[in-house]
Amino acid sequence: MVFWEEFLPALFSGIVATLKLLAVAMPASVVLGVLLGTVRVYGGKIVKTIAAAVVVVFRGFPLTVTLLILFFGLADFHIYLTPYWAAVLGFTLCGGSYQSEYIRGAIRSIDEGQSVAAKALGMSKTQEIIYIILPQALRRALPGISNELIYMVKYSSLAFIIGVPEMFSIAKTFNSQWFMPIEVFSILAIVYLAMTTIVTLGFRLLEDKLKIPSTT
Amino acid sequence: MSAGFIQYLPYIVEGAYWTFALVCGGLALGFLIGLPIAVGQVYGGKTVRTILNVYVWFFRGVPLIVLLFLFFWGIFPAIGLKLSALTTSIIVLGFRSGAYQSQIFRGAIESVGEGQVVAAKSIGMSELQSIIHVVLPQALRIAIPSWTNEYAILLKDSAICFTLGVMEILTRTKYVTVSTGIYFLPYVFAGILYIILTYAGTKVFNIVYEKLRIPGFIEGEM
Amino acid sequence: MDSDIVLKAENLHKSYGKVEVLKGVSLEIRRGETKVIMGPSGAGKSTLLRCLNLLTKPDKGRVWLENVELTNPKVNINKMRVKIGFVFQEFNLFHHLTALENVMIGLTKVKKIPKKEALRKAKETLLAVHITEDLWDKYPAQLSGGQKQRAAIARALAMDPVVMLYDEPTSALDPQLVGEVLQVIKELARKGVTSLIVTHEVDFALEIADEIMFMYDGRIVEKGPPGEVIFNPKHEVTRKFFEKISKLYGVGKYGVLGRISPSII
């Protein structure tokens, strides 16, 4: 019974650490995704190339590699990020790059007439993008975005490799002291399942709320 | 920063063999699990569907690293299996990929029009025959693009197996960084290696896809 | 320039690849006038209209709005477009906004009018096109074609433009919905709204137009009062065009011509 008395509070602190990570990385990745996706559709040649390069690199590198580069690799250049910030940056870059593809596709799927009508009203390109295109594109990209954010909840477990004291690292440490892997990792699995299920349901509600009503 | 790590690059590249073992093993096992699950989810009765849904929910909802540790340190030893890190990794990757692949195949099966099955039955085929001879050949072709994506995902996920010590690309890269004290370039090299492998594999799948393509058939449209 | 001339175009040319769609078109429209452009498909009518507010950039030629040359690159075209109301064949209402929001967005975001005043103006304009309060909170997907187009007219009209351009406003509508839209355009024209309309609706043109411009193969072939151009044209192509209509559709309100479907020409 002593195990549980010690494990559960420790696990709780791990959950808090995970949430702290996600609370910043999730919105940041969406912002980055929108930025990259928009720039890749509307930007000038130089900006487009830079954005494309970012997306290719951070979609192509495994997340583990990205995290290791940010934490250990940058140290070669005397840039020392804390585990927390390296993790946040890593998730933002990786998640944002994946999301930018959904957003880019969604923007391109908006019919041209919307853009022409905005111009005819005297809107500048920026106004057109912010008030007409993005509100519609983001709705269309929402399933993809929510999918990526759910992945982020699960992949947050990788933050342990650069020393963030989140859920998985706590469980791992506990297991190496108490040698009860089935209990420890099963509980952990259940916590992750609960988190992903809640987030999934949350996004489904959001999608319903944001849906544009039609007669069908 | 000395470039002393360059002599170790071949050592890192050798890890590709283990990486491929993980990826191919995982994909193959995932296929063998995923396709039956998909068929069961589309054609099965309520109990079957519920069990399969739980499987899918579990293996998609739990992070890979938790699954790896749960099976390697917990479940397999508990049932008396003494499996290597590589074997365990392939099995876990396979179970997990099976869950994801089942959804790919399920979508593909469901997008094969109802008319195809009805036509098959009208010439006397049983449900099973119509599935094997009419639905699956079309569904599998429809599934290839998504399946190619699954390959790309699995390739990146294989890197996570370094936590169990499998001698694949990332594990080796880590050893190199620790022994040379150079971190940035080796990891970037590893990343680029993964990108090359992703690109090469995707190209192969695209060639296969083109070869298998039914002329004039637009996937999913009737 | 004559202060009464609201919109003027001089020698407009436009090519798409090797095909020259506009071959030197000039026109002008005075305050309060209603002019109609007619002609077969491919004559360049839509292209002409889109060149007038620079939605399409002409290769050659100039356009003036009141006294400002729109084709001058130094001019802020967005500010100028506020003064031109454009109504599209495919409506192009913003899908994610209600009818009321569609009319308001130009007022609040482009003209920077405070929300309260924009709301009042939007409601006023919607009522002017006979869109009643029960439809104001509906999204375009919930409206009929005729309601959508009238809302689109309201969206353009609420900006208080000096001229309204209509690009085949009823061509995408089911026949039974055409009348309600034409009715609105007629009322606005009679109230003095300067209007330039591309349409195939001959009866409508006869009723409302001060002048008809007949376009053929990228040029304005002839223009004049509706009665003359339709019943007593000077050019062979014009005669042939209007004859075809009467042959295909038979007798209409004015004894000779009826409405025609664009695809027949």
User: What is the domain partition of chain C in residue ranges?
Assistant: 33-55+76-264
A187, A15 contact by CB (below 8 A) = no
Domain assignment present for residue B221? The answer is no
Q: Identify the residue among B19, B66, B162 best suited for mutation to test binding to A, counting A beta carbons within 10 A and taking the highest.
A: B66
Q: DSSP letter at C89? A: T
Each residue's pLDDT expressed in tens, for chain A with a length of 216 residues: 677 788 889 999 999 999 999 999 999 999 999 999 999 999 999 999 999 999 999 999 999 999 999 999 999 999 999 999 999 999 999 999 999 999 999 999 999 999 999 999 999 999 999 999 999 999 999 999 999 999 999 999 999 999 999 999 999 998 888 888 998 999 999 999 999 999 999 999 999 999 888 765
A184, A29 contact by CB (below 8 A) = no
Asked if B8 is an interface residue toward chain A (Cβ–Cβ < 8 A), one would say no
- Per-residue pLDDT, C3: 72
| 3 state DSSP class of C43 | coil
Smallest Cβ–Cβ distance between A192 and the set B1, B62, B69 belongs to B62
pLDDT at C15 > cutoff 50: yes
pLDDT at B127 > cutoff 70: yes
pLDDT at C252 > cutoff 70: no
Q: What's the pLDDT tens digit per position in B22-81? A: 999 999 999 999 999 999 998 889 999 999 999 999 999 999 999 999 999 999 999 999
Domain ranges of chain A: 2-210
ipTM of the prediction:
0.89
pLDDT at B101 > cutoff 90: yes
- CATH number for the domain that contains residue B150: 1.10.3720.10
Nearest to C37 by CA among C238, C180, C188: C238
CA distance B163 to A158: 10
Mean pLDDT of chain C: 90
Asked if B184 is an interface residue toward chain A (Cβ–Cβ < 8 A), one would say yes
- Per-residue pLDDT, C247: 67
Work out the pLDDT band at C257, boundaries 50, 70, 90. Answer: very low
Task: Give A 99-158 residues with CB within 8 A of chain B.
Answer: 154-158
Domain assignment present for residue B151? The answer is yes
A211, A135 contact by CB (below 8 A) = no
pLDDT at C260 > cutoff 60: no
Residue A216's contacts (CB-CB under 8 Å, 6 or more residues apart) are C141
B89, B166 contact by CB (below 8 A) = yes
Q: Enumerate the residues of chain A whose CB falls inside 8 A of the CB of residue B159.
A: 62, 64-65
pLDDT at C258 > cutoff 50: no
A vs C contact (3+ beta-carbon pairs below 8 A): yes
Q: Find where tokens 């104001």 sit.
A: C136
Residue B95, domain extent:
8-212
Work out the pLDDT band at B114, boundaries 50, 70, 90. Answer: confident
- Chains touching chain C at 3 or more Cβ pairs under 8 angstroms? A
Q: What's the pLDDT tens digit per position in C183-225? A: 999 999 999 999 999 999 999 999 999 999 999 999 999 999 9
Q: What's the pLDDT tens digit per position in B159-183? A: 999 999 999 999 999 999 999 999 9
pLDDT at C41 > cutoff 90: no
Note whether B62 contacts A154, CB cutoff 8 Å: yes
Q: Which CATH superfamily is domain A2-210 in?
A: MetI-like (1.10.3720.10)
The CATH topology of domain C33-55+76-264 is Rossmann fold (3.40.50)
Q: Helix A2-42 crosses helix A45-60 at what angle (to 10 degrees)?
A: 150
Domain assignment present for residue B2? The answer is no
Q: What's the pLDDT tens digit per position in A59-92? A: 999 999 999 999 999 999 999 999 999 999 999 9
Q: DSSP letter at B134? A: I
Q: What is the mean pLDDT of residues B206-217?
A: 80
In chain C, the percentage of residues whose pLDDT exceeds 90 is 83
Residue A199's contacts (CB-CB under 8 Å, 6 or more residues apart) are A146, A149, A150, A153
Q: Enumerate the residues of chain B whose CB falls inside 8 A of the CB of residue A156.
A: 63
CA distance A216 to A38: 30
Query: Would you state the structure tokens that stand for residue B135, as one six-digit string?
Result: 């639905």
Q: Find the helix or strand (DSSP H, E) in which B60 lies.
A: helix B46-61
Mean pLDDT of chain B: 90
> pTM score, two decimals?
0.85
If one counts the domains in chain B, the total is: 1
